[in-house]
Structure 1
Amino acid sequence: MLFFLGLQIYQIKNRVCSLISLQKTFQFKYAWRSYQRRFLEGFDIHFKDLHLHVVAPPGSGKTVLGLEMMRRVDQKTIVFAPTLTIRNQWEERMFECYVDKETCDIPLSRNMKQPAHITFSTYQSLHAFFKNEMEGDGEKLVAFFAKAGIKNIVLDEAHHLKNEWWKPLFALKALPDCSLIALTATPPYDSSQREIKKYFELCGPIDVEIGVPELVKEGNLCPHQDYIHFSEPDNAQMEYIEAFRKKVDAFVQQLLVDTSFKAFVLEHPFYAQTDTVLETIYEQPDVYAAILIYLNAAKTDILPGKVALLGIETEIIAIPPLTYSWLEVLLQSVLVIDRESFSKHEKLLKSIENTLRKIGAFDKQQLRLEGNKELYTSLTQSPNKLKSIQEIITFEARQLKNKLRAVVLADYIRKEFLESIAEEDLPTINKLGVVPIFHYLRASLAPDPERWQAANRQEKLAVLTGTLVIVHDRLRAHIASEIPEDYYTLSPLGDTDFLILKPKEKGKSHIVSVITALFTKGHIEILIGTTSLLGEGWDAPAINTLVLASYVGSFVMSNQMRGRAIRIYPKHPDKIASVWHLACIDPTVADGGEDVKKLYNRFDAFCGVSLQGPSYVENGPDRFGLPKNDFNTNRLNENMFSIAKQREQIKVRWDQAIASGTILVRELKLNFNETIKEKDTTRYKTQKVYFRKVIEFIVIEVLLLVICVLLYIVLLSNVLPREVALLFLVVALGVFIGYFPKMYKALLLFLRYGQVDRALYKIGEALLHAMYEKRLITTPFSKVTLDVQKIDHTEVTCFISGATVKEEVLFVNSLEEIVQSIDNPRYMIKEFEGLQKTFGFPKYYGVPSIFSEHKKDATLFLRHWMRYKGKASLLYTRSKEGRKKLLKARFHYLNTEGGFKTKTAAIWK
């Protein structure tokens, strides 16, 4: 009864609120930054569909932009934030930048049960309200907020959304005539495809992306550089990894000669009854391919008809070799997915399963031959990363001396190691965490006149977490003068000079503030903390060195943690920040292993300046110029430290890179996956196929042929001694024969791919004009430029400029759908070009999803394709014949030597 009485009161307030105009009441007190002004100038265009999705890094003023958008929408608004701290920041920024607190007459609320003209709340509160008061009923929730007059929803830090929060938020999207504004620093690109899809369904496509270069250019972020310190597993880890690899190799070799398993595979319906289960094969083409790949590796004769189904019609394309990933596809299918279908073979399958479990390659219904969870965890938590942190802090302390303000962030505290540990016992620590890092740094920062010139760096070390604070005894007086006695307790940490400060509940936030102030002033120079406390929301702009010892964090958390260090510090306008990342190399695999791959993937979340060579700003790991194979830990670390010494050069590189561009552009990067090793370097470059390469080899061969003919004439005319002429002829013929395979291979690759840059430009033209005809791009055509560039003879990139961010992203994503390996498109394009047909190289391209919903759209796209690319045909893959073509197309890409690898990137141009 009280609830509905309250609702009536708020309905009366709504009528009062309808007279309020934020456009008149709100007035921004300061000058807009250039990138903010540029965004606001296009606000009306972006907001046509009542959706606005803004991506901007920490420090860009997202909250202020959100308030300005609220002012321009000028409707009753509710703002959702992930934490109470961030919720409160909205109100603080509003009073700081728009309206005086004393004179503000705008009805405000922090309680969604009593919404005002502006309501600040949290996602947790919405979920609780939906679950309890609304009884989990979406229609009730919509009815409540509709009666409350909510016409605008703001989702702050939208990347934080958890599974249980989706339902009420999607329900709110049904509010009539309601607009939605989503603000985030990092879309959750490393989540599952399902989660990413839900995120973009809720927030809409990205309308505006504010890039780090713009913030550095404006002076809102400081110049900064990312570095990586590599380590290798310790002896115990190496023994475990090598033992695991040997067991897996032995298992694979045994499976290849296991007559029972061979017989089982030959009886598999996909092989034995292919024609009758074609529809199922088309749904699981990878399993069918894996069967043939296994049988081929097991030296079993495969019937020609089985291979023909995959589209292998010439001798040029062969069945690829058996790899762990292919064997995983086969075994995952028979051991887990379709196991019930093979009940009569249960004894054999159970035996294989037991073997896999014993070697640690099968757990929780998941097969992992490349490496199990324990192996990956052993790398991410490698104790040798503690030595990496020790080396980094020692290096930075020597460089910055008393200007050092370093923060080390870890995922866990590890209180089990809290007791005092002698330096000689440090190797017994086998886990990464706050306390282990503290002990390692305490030992390396101990008084040492030779290293620290009589200064005791150990005194400047501290720990700050939500439940554990450690400070040096020297800070006892500072603590006592700043924090009330009943807020904490102090106790000595063993026989060290450090104290354990235990905060009481009421003193937690105050203690964080005091420790942060001591760090800012330099009483503390090295602060170790947890990502949960210091990773987001914590503000200490004095940081100039950050070590990320976190391995749990996602793209989102990585970006937030990094954002702590790259903020400007007004008291030191010349601040330059170093951000150190850690990776443990698995020396048993060529690409460095899972920890290296995970770190490389993290770099997709943010932009930075190139480490060496030409200065440019780009996201991803390419800007580091690191090897793809053949990691040499010592050489890599020496190079990193050598570059990091030149701290002042970081600002120079940023200035050079920023001067070379004006805007952050989304582009598609395309290269070949065939690599060649250059002389005198461990760097592997991607081999590009140019027409001039073919011409070069042909010219060499023709010259050699002419020389051979001339030498043969000389041999017959007796101008030179017969033995000498014969020797020269043999040498010339040998060189001719030696160059012939290179010419043949280059010719085949050229015929297969054509001139990549020119072909990519034509594809881009076809896509761009098709998007214009379908009105997916509405920016005037005269303002949009299509560009294809070659980069350092290693890559080709394609992008459009002059369009909106939403249009540029849609173009790049659609272009990637076209040129990447065939997965499961609704429509495909099949084309032949000249001699490619003669050599049996059909080209398959996926029709992008924006043209795949209806045949008329796919036909529209084909028309533009034929206009710019040449003769082609459209294939519908949802029919029986289409599925067959799709299977051939997918296997065609599996067999493509030097095939395309694609990647979308953000680069300052």
Structure 2
Amino acid sequence: MDAQPRPLADWRFDGELRPYQAEVLAQIPAAPADAAMHIVAPPGSGKTLLGLLLAVREGRRTLVLSPTLTIRQQWVRTARTLTAAPDSVSDDPESLADLTALTYQVLSVTGDSSPFDDLARAQWTDELTEAGRTEADAATWLAALAVDNRSQYRRGIRKRAARLRRRFAQARPDSLSRVLHPNALELMERIVEAGIDTIVLDECHHLLDHWAIVVAYLRARIRERGGTGLLIGLTATLPSPDDGTGFDNYTQLLGDVDYEVPTPAVVKSGHLAPYRAHVWFTEPVPQEAHFIRRSEAQLHELMVQVLSTPDGLSYLQEQLQPDVAESDSPPTETMRRLGIDRALSEDFAFAASCGAVLRAVAPRHPLCALLDPKLFGRAGTDDLLLVLARFSLGRLLPDPAARDQWRYVKGALADFGLHLTDRGIRRGRNPLETTLATSVAKDHAAVDILRRELAEPDGERIRAVVVTDVVESGDNRGLTGDAAPGALRVFDLLAADPVTAALTPVLLTAQHLRTTDTAAEQIADALQEALGVQAEVVDGVGATRVLRVPGYGGGRLVAAVSQLVSAGSVRLLVGTRGLLGEGWDCPAVNTLIDLTTVATSTGTQQLRGRTLRLDPQWPQKVAHNWSVTCLIPPHVDLDDSAELDRLRRRHSHLWGLSADDRTRVITGLDAALDERTRNLLDRVVAKDASTSIDELNRAALASLRPRAQTRDDWRIGEPYRSREREVVAVRAVRRSELTRIVPTVAAGTTWPFIAGAAVTGGLTITVCASAGQAMPLLAGIGIAAAGGVVTALASRTRAIARIIRRHHDPALIHLAAVQAVARALTEAERIPVLSDDAIEVDLLHLPDGSSRLRMMFQGPSRARTTLTDAVQELFGPVRTPRFLLRSVGSRGPGAWLPVPQQIGRRRADAQRFAQLWRETVTPCALVEPQGEEGLSVLRAARAHTGYLDGSAPRTTLWG
């Protein structure tokens, strides 16, 4: 009887693999013991081909799961290039083949947003039946509990759901099947019966809850039938550990990353387009500014009416003087200072807010003279709202006579997105944040950006995409009567502007297809030719027209419009991130204008990945990725940090060329803004009236370089070293602050050491004399002692020279300091032993004459992060550390440094760290602030702002 042919046995790839693709195939073993392969690589780096070749190597029937129809079709097209038998590839769940590509949704669970709740309820029912109830009685009891005591019912569900989430990947298939749709169960049984044994999970970062359950169930069923259930996970971005149990689910399925291809490596090897990140700053338009001004006035009125009252001032004073009120005698200045110190130690953030608010509402209050402006600075909006909410809970709610005032404050805080209840404060949707995030000014910025891009030397090559969160938002607070924020609004503006309208813009969403009135017939004809059906111009208003393509939507229409972009018929596409984000493939796009609120690692990198694919029609392609940020101007004394926080988080996930040093590839905002611009941004946020957002934007745009220069800066094709290093930057510390040379040198040449050397020398001479060499005893001892001292000093010369050289070299000082931190963490079993070259320190001389020290750490990811956190804490401002290190300087008291929390958890570890510091850096004292003396010590330590580089204290460096 003939043996069955091995699945995928005749599949071949005749092209040339990219270096990292070949390296993945060489480094990841076939049939790994944990039955999982986990690969991270950027969009456009060839993950589809790589996944197929891994599956071919395994030689088993394969199922490919992807999140969208567009991505599914990419797998089908690529798979069919590897085989001469097109029937061996299928995208039909009713006709499974050697390789079948489906979407996760086909196997999806029920529409319940929390499938673990269903599992938890089922488990609770089982527990009740095991305790003696019938199944019907258990179900009735649970239903009654859900109505009569909803909080207790939800608590029971949450507790069981949390346990299930932690161990769901090991759950029995029959347990998991309870939350799967019958149709999905039936399809998965057919998949198992068909002998599918390898599952390729494209964009596997989606495997957090629902789809993770699907994969876990399918894998368990395959294994029950004797299969391996090999998982091949492919993603451009790892989910964040902040996803909690979802992240745990993901790692249970796929384990650690087996191979990661960093985006810069793919760019430098010539397989992705070089790129630059840019930021356009704007401020609210007049109508929005009016709403913000009204909010500012409301907050000021609220502050005056509530916190300027005797009761409000008394509350603030009590928070800053927690023990003074208990004293019978009038407090002295010393007692007041200690009270402030104690408040900071008990709750630093809240005490700092109370002090800042007191300085704002009652600047002549006696306590204000004792409030250091470095710690108690400007009272920001968050400070005011926090203090108002806590005051209301602590003073107004318990007082029946303050009922009306409680209601007034509660209503006012709700306007700022804070819901005040008797259980505490819950944050809701902040209207200030919404106003800035959806500002009309951002739409105008899109027009301005495109005008600027078109004016550049490569302007005729611009193919741009403008991406929004939604088609049309239901929230247009502050803009009553105007169009709602979203893709429709920004498209109308782009279609009406004569410069951007010349780009033949098209709006494409799941329900909308529009273009300009002048281009409507042209686009309709082009779509008709591409799709083979009649496309018609329906209607429109003003400069826009609506197009309709009967029977077509989703992936086919997106592909057709993308072809028009590639052909240059359409040079500007507007849409939402749901359609033009993950999986959308249009290599001609070279300019992204991001108007979304996306700031997660996954969403950010997926959006930026749209512009990085190589364009066959422009081999010298360079991509520009723009973030648009709306800030409240400095002259308005209201602030909201959401936009800036979003900008910082977004860029923390992205690699890019440093704006200050284009030879470096880094993460963080300094890949988009140079130091001058970052400093201006800090001043704008700090409400410096001498600055403006226009000035900030001009500074940001001044660093915009021609695309050809950016391509040169990437140095494509040159050798590179693919490694990541965490970087902490500190300002160059005067050596007199950190070290003291005389005691350090003396540590190697102390009198006891010299006396010991003299005795040793005397004994040596005496031994020689007893061996037969004639010499008077006293003379011999004297000469020997002198000789011993000289010999001892000579033997220590090199060590002393090293100490002196280190004292005069800040890089060596800080290298010794970081090595002490690393060694302390290792001995405390927080990190493994690092290699000798894991720590580097460079001294950088900047154009303005200042200096920075760049401390760089490499090694295993978690160890690297732990060390970086500790070093950043060591050189940062003092807050509430358990231990302080007083590093003795040449002149004055030296430096107060907080012992990093990871070291200061145990006294023995902190003592060992201090010992290492004395041995390798400088004399020091370990201080545990306690009692009144400890509070005074903390006050002195907090007076110093730390040594971190304020413009860019931390980043990640590649290469």
Shared fold, TM over 0.5: yes
Is 1:390 aligned to 2:447, yes or no? yes
| CA spacing shift, 1:287–1:474, aligned 2, 3 Å | closer
**Displacement of 1:246:** 3.7
Q: Which of 547, 571, 574 is matched with 1:525 structurally? A: 571
* Partners of 1:360 and 1:46 in 2: CA distance: 56
Q: 1:404 aligns with which of 443, 458, 462?
A: 462
Q: Does 1:766 align with 2:748?
A: no
Q: Does 1:538 align with 2:593?
A: no
836, 841, 846: which one aligns with 2:900: 846
Q: Does the Cα contact within 8 Å between 2:433 and 2:640 map onto a contact in 1?
A: no
Cα gap change, 1:192 to 1:300, in 2 (>3 Å): farther
CA distance 1:469–1:571, change in 2 (3 Å): same
What value does the CA root-mean-square deviation take over the aligned residues?
5.7
Partner letter of residue 606 of structure 1? L
Counterpart position of 2:538: 491
Are 1:210 and 2:266 an aligned pair?
Answer: no
Of 721, 725, 728, the match for 1:666:
725
Partner of 1:141: 173
Counterpart AA for 1:220: H
Q: 2:612 aligns with which of 560, 566, 577?
A: 566
The one-letter code of the counterpart of 1:665 is E
SS of residue paired to 1:230: strand
Partner of 2:334: none
State how far apart, in whole Å, the 1-side matches of 2:235 and 2:597 are.
Answer: 22
Q: How many pairs does the alignment contain?
A: 776
Please tell me whether the aligned partners of residues 353 and 362 of structure 1 are also in contact (alpha carbons under 8 angstroms): no
Deviations 1:728-763 (A, max 9, x none): xxxxxxxxxxxxxxxxxxxxxxxxx99975554234
CA distance in 1, matches of 2:103, 2:908: 46
Aligned equivalents of 1:281, 1:633: Cα separation in 2: 34
- 1:141–1:168 Cα contact (<8 Å) kept: no
1:624-673: CA deviation from partner (whole Å, max 9, x where unpaired): 212332454445555666665723212112228x85952242313234xx
Conserved in 1, the CA contact under 8 Å of 2:875 and 2:946? no
**Conserved? CA contact 1:75–1:152, under 8 Å:** yes
Code of the residue aligned with 1:651 in structure 2: it is R
Contact 1:548 1:579 in 2 (8 A): yes
Contact 1:383 1:430 in 2 (8 A): no
Matched, 1:905 2:955: yes
Which structure 2 residues correspond to residues 819-858 of structure 1 after superposition, within 5 A?
A: 830-834=884-888, 839=893, 842-848=896-902
Correspondence list, 1:76-155, <5 A? 81-87=66-72, 89-90=74-75, 92-96=77-81, 101=85, 122=104, 125=107, 127-128=109-110, 138=168, 139-141=171-173, 155=201
- Identity across aligned pairs (percent)? 21
Q: Which amino acid aligns with 1:412?
A: V
1:568 shift after superposition? 0.5
Instruction: Check whether the contact 2:281–2:629 (CA below 8 A) recurs between aligned residues.
Output: yes
| Cα deviations by residue, 1:63-106 (Å, 9 ceiling, x for unpaired) | 44445566778899876543354355456545545x6555969x
List per-residue Cα deviations over 1:227-247 (Å, max 9, x = no partner).
222222212222222332344
Structure 1 Cα separation of the partners of residues 907 and 91 of structure 2: 51
Shift of 1:778: 7.5
- 1:114-153 deviations in Å (ceiling 9; x for gaps): 9999996627735449779987884333888999799987
Q: Distance in 2 between matches of 1:818 and 1:152?
A: 49
What is the TM-score with the length of structure 1 in the denominator? 0.69
SS in 2 for 1:386: helix
Cα separation, 2, equivalents of 1:564 and 1:613: 26
In structure 1, what is the equivalent of residue 16 of structure 2? Answer: 31
Query: In 1, are the aligned partners of 2:521 and 2:537 still within 8 Å (CA)?
Result: no
Q: Call closer, same or farther: CA 1:573–1:349 in 2, change over 3 Å.
A: same
- Residues 512, 66 of structure 1: alpha-carbon distance in 2 compared, 3 angstrom cutoff: closer
Q: Secondary structure at the match of 2:899?
A: strand
Give SS of 1:229's match.
strand
Evaluate the alpha carbon distance shift between residue 288 and residue 476 of structure 1 in structure 2; reply closer, same or farther with a 3 A threshold.
closer
Greater shift after overlay, 196-205 or 759-768?
A: 196-205
Q: Is the 8 A contact 1:786 1:800 kept in 2?
A: yes
Note if 1:462 corresponds to 2:511: no
Report the Cα distance in structure 2 between the residues aligned to 1:866 and 1:76, rounded to whole angstroms. Answer: 64
Larger radius of gyration: 2
CA contact (8 A) 2:65 2:200 kept: yes
Deviation sequence 1:421-475 (CA, Å, 0-9, x none): xxxxx998554432222322222227xxxxxxxxx96472322221111242233
What residue is the counterpart of 1:689 in the other structure? 733
1:213: how far off? 1.9
Task: Quote how far apart the aligned CAs of 1:30 are.
Answer: 4.0
Query: Partners in 2 of 1:180 and 1:275 — Cα distance?
Result: 66
Q: Match of 2:498?
A: 445
8 Å CA contact retained: 1:317, 1:895: no
| Aligned 8 A contact 1:62 1:183 in 2 | yes
Deviation at 1:812, TM superposition (A): 3.8
Partner of 1:511: 557
From the superposition, tell whether residues 252 and 769 of structure 1 become closer, same or farther in structure 2 (CA, over 3 Å): same
The residue that corresponds to 2:487 in the other structure is 434
Distance 1:150 1:283 in 2: 60
- Asked if the contact 1:152–1:178 (Cα under 8 Å) also holds between the matched residues in 2, the reply is yes
> Out of 706, 711, 715, which is 1:655 matched to?
715
**1:602-637 superposed Cα distances (whole Å, 9 cap, x missing partner):** 111211223466443222111321233245444555
Larger mean CA deviation between 862-871 and 471-480 belongs to: 862-871
Aligned mates of 1:667, 1:194 — CA distance in 2: 27
The yes-or-no answer on 1:790 pairing with 2:843 is yes
2:280 matches 1:223? no
Instruction: State the Cα distance separating 1:294 from its structure 2 match.
Output: 6.0
- Matches of 2:871 and 2:60 in 1, distance apart? 38
Counterpart in 2 of 1:608?
A: 656
Equivalent positions of 1:357-368 (< 5 A) are: 357=413, 360=416, 362-363=418-419
Partner of 2:524: 476
How many angstroms does 1:491 deviate by? 0.8
Give the corresponding residue for 1:548.
594
**Where do residues 234-245 of structure 1 align in structure 2 (5 Å cutoff)?**
234-245=285-296
Counterparts in 2 of 1:437 and 1:548: CA distance versus 1, 3 Å? same
- Which secondary structure state, in structure 2, belongs to the residue aligned with residue 393 of structure 1? helix
> What secondary structure does 1:385 align onto?
helix
What's the CA shift for 1:787?
0.6
Look up the equivalent residue of 1:586 and give its one-letter code.
Answer: I
Q: Separation in 2 of the partners of 1:890 and 1:194?
A: 38
Instruction: Quote the residue 2:668 is aligned against.
Output: 620
Question: Could you report, residue by residue, the CA deviation over 1:819-864 in whole angstroms, capped at 9, with x for unpaired residues?
Answer: 5667899xx5543322599849653223439x97x99988887876
Kindly tell me: are residues 103 and 200 of structure 1, through their superposed partners in 2, closer, same or farther at Cα, counting changes over 3 Å? closer
Alignment partners' CA distance in 2, 1:884 and 1:206? 51
Q: Quick check: 1:62 aligned with 2:47?
A: yes
Q: Which amino acid in the other structure matches residue 712 of structure 2? A: V
Question: Deviations for 1:563-599, whole angstroms, at most 9, x for unmatched residues?
Answer: 1112111232122222232222311369995434422
3-state DSSP of counterpart to 2:887: coil
**DSSP 3-state at the match of 2:727:** strand
Distance (Å, rounded) in 2 between the aligned partners of 1:587 and 1:819: 32
Corresponding letter in the other structure for 2:540: L
Q: TM-score, normalised by structure 2?
A: 0.65
SS at match of 1:580: strand
